[in-house]
Amino acid sequence: MRAVIQRVSEASVTVDGVVTGQIQQGLLVLLGIEDSDTMEDIAWLSAKIVNLRIFNDDAGVMNVSLKDANGDLLLVSQFTLFASTKKGNRPSYLRASKPEIAVPMYEKMILQLEQDLGTTIQRGIFGADMKVALVNDGPVTILIDSHNRE
């Protein structure tokens, strides 16, 4: 799994003119899923997202997690995170899971994040043409790959 994590002061996702998810201070997480992803990847990535200390403490140092900051989370599926640009100029998305694999994994990630956060999260609609709006706070943007745990 790959996740692009953005610390935001606000974010929303709109499908066909209807807002399907909206948050204030928190994290916008773009999530890509590949066939080799497992429940272990979900558990590890969810814990990392929820506990990543990227919010400022009283001294202005990034030392507070989403969970500790009582921040919101907006999860958006994004198969393009597995784009390969190795050959030519048209990206290949062969590594991205097809919906029959990706949808159940996405739903399991939602449940895991909600369990780890102890609250309901906001989300986009899997496979929809989504319009994502955000105000990146910082800016703080972090890329995490569950198969490359740096």
Indicate which residues carry an active-site annotation.
Answer: 80
Which structure tokens are listed for 45?
Answer: 């990535």
Q: CB 54: neighbour CB atoms within 10 A?
A: 20
CA–CA separation, 15 and 118 (whole Å): 27
CA–CA separation, 150 and 32 (whole Å): 18
Length of the chain: 150
Q: Do strands 26-32 and 72-77 pair parallel, antiparallel, or not at all (unpaired)? A: parallel
CB 93 within 8 A of CB 81: no
21: Cα separation from own chain's centroid: 13
